[in-house]
Amino acid sequence: MAIACASDGSADLAPASGQGAPRSVHEAPHAQPHEQMVTVYIMGQACQVPATATIMGGIEYAGHQIIRGAGCREGYCGACATIYRVANDYRVRTGLACTTLVEDGMTLTQIPSVPAGKALYSIADLKPDLSAIAQTYPVVFRCVGCNTCTRSCPQDIRVMDYVQAAKRGDIPAILDLSYYCVACGLCMLRCPAEITQPLVATLAKRLYGRYLSKKSPELGERIAAIEAGVFDEEYLGLMAMTPEALSQRYYAPADDDAED
């Protein structure tokens, strides 16, 4: 990660280019007079940021440029895993920097990458059952059932429940339970059994797609019809229309008889 934090002027931390020097706790020139500010500690450095900022917004407001540890900025990509504590609470909290708001007294750091050994496998050589888990990620059998992974998940996924499903070889359950995983890696960072949960989930999703997902005969029929040219005439007709005529046809009232 390359958060440049240089408000104390130390030489090894470069200010982010084009944004001027990072602001220390004593100066907050961009703040509007009515804007409420809070103090957050970004990798140990006190910074004043607007109370309504996300963690990511706060980091950038304080003058740091995030080079690794930001992606979609909308909670989808999982690039901005962050661990933090809040004042007077022992608990280590976790969140995505782009969707978690700052709190006064918050002390935080981003985790732009979590080292994890991805198993190498050919999906065609695996079966969608316990044997696939045992061959690729036998580490799941180290799970002690402490549920720390579940408590660390910013997506509120029942992570341990899908690890347990993996221990039973229940591939559809892993898929269902892990569906909203953004692979931020916080669970595997917190896991005392050193399990690489998101990688197990990804394997299960691949196995499901390859072997277990419901097949759609209609899709094949439709592709065959397209390839046989069934829709060519209608398509060419549409392409030949003027934008006005196309619009008129698009917004024309539905023909109820035709619907039936």
Partner 1 sequence: MRISYFPGCTLKNHAVNFDDSTIAACTRLGLTVTELDRWNCCGTVHGLASDDLIHRMAPITNLIRAKEADADAFMTGCAMCYSTLKRANLHLRENPEALSVVNGFLSLEQTDYRGDLDVLHLLELLRDRIGFAQLAARVERPLSGLRVACYYGCLLVRPRAAAIDDSENPKVMEDLMAALGATPVAFPLKTECCGAYQVVADPGIIAERTRRIMGSAASHGADLVVMSCPLCAYNLDDRQADARRLDPDLAPLPVFYFTQLMALALGCGEDVLRLERHRTDPRATLTARGLL
Residues that bind partner 1 (CB under 8 A): 130, 143-147, 151, 158, 160-161, 164, 167-170, 192
- Least distance CB 151 / partner 1 (angstroms): 5
The DSSP bridge partners found for residue 108 are: 42, 84
- Least distance CB 80 / partner 1 (angstroms): 23
Beta-strand ranges (E) seen in the chain are 37-42, 45-50, 81-85, 93-96, 107-110
In the complex with partner 1, which residue's Cβ is closer, 146 or 226? 146
- Least distance CB 102 / partner 1 (angstroms): 22
In the complex with partner 1, which residue's Cβ is closer, 158 or 206? 158
In the complex with partner 1, which residue's Cβ is closer, 40 or 160? 160
Torsion, CA 182, CA 185, CA 187, CA 193, rounded to 10: 140
- Least distance CB 198 / partner 1 (angstroms): 18
Q: Which long-range contacts (CB under 8 A, 24 or more apart) does 131-136 make?
A: 131/169, 132/169, 132/171, 132/203, 132/207, 133/166, 133/167, 133/169, 133/200, 133/203, 136/203
In the complex with partner 1, which residue's Cβ is closer, 19 or 164? 164
Angle at 74 between CA 72 and CA 80, to 5 degrees: 65
Number of alpha carbons in the 13 Å side-chain half-sphere of residue 47: 31
Nearest CA among 138, 136, 137, 182 for reference residue 159? 182
- Least distance CB 142 / partner 1 (angstroms): 11
- Least distance CB 161 / partner 1 (angstroms): 6
Cα separation, 242 vs 108, in Å, equals 58
In the complex with partner 1, which residue's Cβ is closer, 73 or 158? 158
In the complex with partner 1, which residue's Cβ is closer, 59 or 153? 153
